[in-house]
Structure 1
């Protein structure tokens, strides 16, 4: 009769080592093809980064030069650091007309973008949450508006503004900026991803009207989407050069980009304007940078709306 003995239990260190060996994933050595692909991707990203940053770098360097150094030195070589002098000349030239242009741009952009974003969010919310006859056909018409370039509509807008007596006024630039078909499209996407129908039904059961539900319940939920659309609209209105060129003749009403264009046309007769155009362009870029940096967390969260269902 044979006697079978029980196997000796493994000690705790041996069990831990065996579990670690089983749990640790086997790392495959990277092949040369993987290293090559990664290097190519990084190289492409570096080229695009340089392509994007080079004009801004040149603008920052050129803003430190006077008229002579702009043409006598290397484009990316610092001058005698006349940035403060150039800024002083910029803000003092022609009784401070540049500050007036900046104020006009801020008025057109902030007021126009806020109203445009609010209208777009309300329209997108309505297209998403309400059912009415011809909704999809009307939304298709909005999408057609996305495909039409803004420059194509400037002449009809000018004729309408002329008939209404709005040419060469603030309203001629503000009113067209309120229409944003792409913002309506984005707002509908954000509404589908951020505002559950159950929450709206609960608000209606509690006795809230439609306007109260939108203002108190839906709009706070759409805050990331609101800021994303606002940034798109802010950038579009700030860079709206052709619309202002068509509508305005009085330089007191110019936005900053149209004012710099007027100076640029005069540099051959007034060479001293050349440094002012450059430093003015640098100052004109700063509001866009500040707006993006302050609202980038909303930008990132808003761009992921609808990505995960």
Structure 2
């Protein structure tokens, strides 16, 4: 299935890019859907990013996935941007149609959809560990989707306060708070917290009082390698429902696949590919 005479092609741009499983996962997804599409990976330093994106436009690439540091740099080069991507300042997925580039953030959307399946978004109180790029993407998506209250627990309160101001001004969210956490002063979760999300790259002990974890709270972690992080182990011991980083990685890539192709992604094929690539 092709939309034009040349090969349908998507790509990943980032720096560094070594060890990223996206190409292998999406090639398997194209094959599972019987699509004659190809996926390429390019290591693109920031200084060359504008030119690389111009090349993708000229060569009519159907889609582009962005890895750091380009997710926050791409906005000036896009014709359209989805609401969550605009508010968070984070674009990880681009679709090209007729020479026009539209930017999306599928990371926040992936987590939002998985949390919705557990009933932990609408009017829910959500605690997010971190205030960096993933916290921004997740916070923006949940705020737009109707979360009742979002708490950002982070080591640098200034970053959280800027994010708090953005969400309160640009989304329907009316309750957003910042908690400063350190190893010496860990986070104690409120009893009415319905979801906790680790949006930091830390996979080992986090500054959280696990005994305060509400037993029915959904616990999610963005770290996908290893997928069984300290937080996931603690949550499972408390019999809390969990969403691991591997599931999130697959879901955000599946959403990009569906944006580009209009075809449902085979998530099991994608999971098998990632587990094979990462030797899990």
TM-score, with length taken from structure 1: 0.21
Structure having the higher strand fraction is 2
Larger Rg: 1
Structure having the higher helix fraction is 1
